[in-house]
Structure 1
Amino acid sequence: MKLVVQVRLLPTPVQAVALEETLHACNEAATWVSGVAFEKNVKRNFALREFAYGEVKARWGLGAQAAQHVIKKTCDAYTTLKANLTAGNLGKPGSKRYRKATGKPVAFRLDSAQPYDDRMLSWRIAERRISVWTVSGRVKDVVFTASPEQLATLALYRRGESDLVRRDGMWFLNATCEVPEEPVNTDPVDFLGIDLGIVNIATTSDSEIMAGRELNRVRARERGLRKKLQKKNTPSAKRRLKKRRRKEGRRAKDINHKIAKHVVAEAARTGRGIALEDLTGIRERVRLRKPQRATHSSWSFAQLGQFIAYKARKAGVPVVHVDPAYTSRTCAECGHIDRANRVSQAWFACRSCGFVDHADRNGSRNIRARAWQLWRRGAQSTAPAPPPRQRAGAGRRRSTAASGARRASPSL
């Protein structure tokens, strides 16, 4: 399976200037190529080269490989746009948002990621150095830093392209690695049910609760601080807002990675599969009062589900997604369904048999039972392949997944 290892570059000031000039030149060229593709309605890689390849090399001084990657990046951006339009992510045809997305060429930010292949980029992993092509010539001995685990993965499994990324003044390389998968366990002894939520991020059918109180408190504090700074609207307030951006998302992502790693390790250790709820479209289905909307919108259940799914696929653990309907109202002991069974957010009390349990734990047991029934009927693992790597930064209309590749204890 394909995974992306992100390492941080530590260039000298001279090296950083060369990298910045290269990134700007490539993205200026990509924006121009996008205009040509839009005007001539040519969005295929080899067909677009006929109109843009020579001009890109001559005007921006790009090498042959860089020019080809610029054109391919532009085509990838239009492929992503088309996929978003087809999926309805940009509104219905004819809507204002749809017209805005299709009415002008895709534009690239100056700091958008640029792909490099092995002709443009060479690695000396043991020495933690790279040699990279720039518009100013080959820049050698650029230092990078990575963990021992990342270095081992790079040395064994790195294949294909790497993306040069600049974010918040820092330089990164996102390297593609072809990591071998464990064979999927086709005969699990049972399933580990996972109930996802806001108050408790994840609750397992083994009665393990990973609470989200700390994360929710941090989110509330961050929202309050952002509101104050936005209201103040001074230059210093704007600087603080810029410095703090993405901080909350990084913290949530770190927690989700640790929870997913813990869940998959437990399932693999006990020879079980993992049962998850199919929560597709929940934001559209659920109506909430205004004070609850910010909390619900920042709930990263989809990210946690994706992390569990890809880690399970790597470990050979089967994953089954089940219909979550009535799992919170169904008694895990007798099967009685009643809205009144859910006494509160935290507690479940069956009106039929009198069974009392934590509400999320009861829900996770129902999820486990549904997954086991599906598996016995011949259902296959639904652990998806990782999403295809896409080029970062192509305008605001791009999918958030196209921004390039990007752990609090599980008992939080």
Structure 2
Amino acid sequence: RPGVEYERVREVSIIYDKGSGQFEARLVVEVKARGNHGQGRVAVDLGETVLLAAAFEDGTVLLYSGRFIKAARRYWQKVRARVKPPSQENPRMSRRFRQIARKESRQVGHLLHLATSHFIRECVQRGVKEIVIGNLTGIREGMDYGPRVNQRLHAWPYRKILHMLRYKAALVGITVRNDVEERGTSRTCHACGQVRKANRVHRGLYRCSCGWTAQADVNAALNIYE
């Protein structure tokens, strides 16, 4: 990868992909992290419609849309609906079903790489030393927005996003914290601390009776920042 220096090769493997009928060469190298003299922090709220909402110390806010990923998933869901799915009688996926899964994974992965790489570059330019992300462990348990929405939210790649941010940040000497409680941040007013679900007027607006108004995901990110 351009701009990445590695110290030594750890593993080389050649694998045959039955689905594509091609050989893949995989190279694992040991990379030395670049030095980072930054002192800043940035808080990140992960979501679905807004993939990343980032609040920097200097007041800068960055929003990364998740709509392209949602559109890709909807498209492949329609394609998948035309193919016979695995069943109890025949649990093995068909060749076509596996191909669809691989194509969807690659497309979504590419979009995630674009967003996370751009965000890490912004962090480097703004002198960030630490990224703070809300801990989403167990946050989807007990959610009930109906079968369709529940399935969509549970399939959202939070873990994959976090993994990408961790290793990309490590390459440029930025640490990632993921130990801040996420629960309740979207309902809590950053200005006065009032917790009220109705304050989230709609998907993109948070408005509190104290006068505080902000983009809803930014409000959540600022609460994570605390």
- Normalised-by-shorter TM-score class: 0.7 to 0.9
User: Post-superposition shift, 1:260?
Assistant: 1.5
Contact conserved, 2:72 with 2:107, CA < 8 A, in 1? no
Secondary structure of 1:326's counterpart equals coil
**Aligned residues between the structures:** 210
Matched, 1:195 2:45: yes
Superposed, 1:134-149 pairs within 5 Å as 149=2
Matched, 1:276 2:133: yes
Please name the residue that 1:175 is paired with. Answer: 27
Secondary structure of 1:302's counterpart equals helix
Give me the whole-angstrom Cα distance separating, in 2, the residues matched to 1:240 and 1:271.
47
User: Post-superposition shift, 1:310?
Assistant: 1.2
Contact conserved, 2:133 with 2:177, CA < 8 A, in 1? yes
Secondary structure of 2:187's counterpart equals coil
Of residues 111, 116, 124 in structure 2, which corresponds to 1:255? 111
Contact conserved, 1:184 with 1:318, CA < 8 A, in 2? no
User: Post-superposition shift, 1:285?
Assistant: 4.5
Percent pairwise identity: 26
User: Post-superposition shift, 1:176?
Assistant: 1.6
Secondary structure of 1:215's counterpart equals helix
Q: Give CA-to-partner distance per residue, 1:190-241, whole Å, 9 cap, x none.
A: x21211111111111233221122221221121122112227xxxxxx6644
Secondary structure of 2:84's counterpart equals helix
Please name the residue that 2:63 is paired with. Answer: 209
Give me the whole-angstrom Cα distance separating, in 2, the residues matched to 1:196 and 1:348.
16
Amino acid paired to 2:2: E
Amino acid paired to 1:226: R
Residue 336 and residue 260 in structure 1: after superposition, are their counterparts in 2 closer, same or farther (change >3 A)? same
Please name the residue that 1:299 is paired with. Answer: 156
Superposed, 1:12-411 pairs within 5 Å as 149=2, 157-167=7-17, 168-183=20-35, 185=37, 188-189=39-40, 191-205=41-55, 206-230=60-84, 240-272=96-128, 273-321=130-178, 322-351=180-209, 353-368=210-225, 370=226
Please name the residue that 2:90 is paired with. Answer: none
Secondary structure of 2:83's counterpart equals helix
Contact conserved, 2:206 with 2:213, CA < 8 A, in 1? yes
Q: Unaligned stretches of 5+ in structure 1?
A: 1-147, 232-237, 371-412
User: Post-superposition shift, 1:262?
Assistant: 1.5
User: Post-superposition shift, 1:323?
Assistant: 1.0
The structure where helix makes up a greater share of residues is 1
Amino acid paired to 1:188: Q
Secondary structure of 2:61's counterpart equals coil
The structure where strand makes up a greater share of residues is 2
When Rg is computed on C-alpha atoms for both structures, the one with the higher figure is 1
Amino acid paired to 1:202: L
Contact conserved, 2:34 with 2:173, CA < 8 A, in 1? yes
RMSD of aligned alpha carbons = 2.3
